[in-house]
Amino acid sequence: MSLMAVLAQAGSPAPMAASTLAHYLLVSALLLVIGLIGFVTRRNLIIMFLCTELMFQAAGLAAVAFGRYHLNLTGQTLVIFILTVAAAEAAMALALVVLLFRRKESLNAEEWQDLKG
């Protein structure tokens, strides 16, 4: 059986029975934690925003898994709005990054340490 055929049938009960909600929540939590660690440790502004996108992924995965668990579509609808907000955030954040780069010719977040009070 080809891969796509198997994937298309994945919604049917038999292969689904092996995974629980916790499996998906574990992957989601891992993505969230990795994104969080990346946001704290990396000093490149662009990578920091990339890490927030990782956390968005984690939130979307959890939303869809919960929606699947409760057998309704609200989780997937939420992911549509997560995508919207992520796109808006990317546009704004990248505009800011370009602006900051023009000022100091560097993407180092620590260049802007003097902004903290």
Partner 1 sequence: MGELIHPFIVYGFCVLGGAAVCLALPRGGRSPQVLGALAGALIAGLALLALAIKFAPVLPNVYFYIFSLIGVGAALRVITHPRPVYAALYFILTVISTGGLFVLLSAEFMAFALIIVYAGAILITYLFVIMLATQAPQEDQTEVLASYDTRAREPVAASVIGFLLLAVLTTLFFRGVDRLPAPGASDDQALLAEMPRKVETSLRVAGLLREGETVREIDTALGVVRVASGESLREIPRAEWPEGLSVSNVEALGFNLLREHPGAIEIAGVILLMAMLGAVVLSRKQVEMDEEAKRRQAQKLGQTTGGISDVTGPIGGES
Task: Map the footprint of partner 1 across residues 66-85, applying CB under 8 A.
Answer: 67-69, 71-77, 79-81, 83-85
The size of the interface with partner 1 (CB under 8 A), counted in residues, is 83
Establish how many alpha carbons lie within 13 A of residue 72's alpha carbon, considering only the half-sphere containing its beta carbon: 5
Smaller CB separation from partner 1, 105 or 114:
105
Structure tokens that stand for 44 in this block = 């490149």
Q: Ramachandran region of residue 2, left (φ > 0), alpha (ψ -120 to 50) or beta?
A: beta
Torsion of CA 86, 68, 37, 47, to 10 degrees: -30
Among residues 21, 52, 114, 115, the one that binds partner 1 under rule CB under 8 A:
21
Among residues 1, 2, 5, 17, the one that binds partner 1 under rule CB under 8 A:
17
Considering the complex, what minimum distance in angstroms separates the CB of residue 65 from partner 1?
A: 6
- 51 contacts 36 by C-beta, under 8 angstroms: yes
Among residues 1, 61, 115, 116, the one that binds partner 1 under rule CB under 8 A:
61
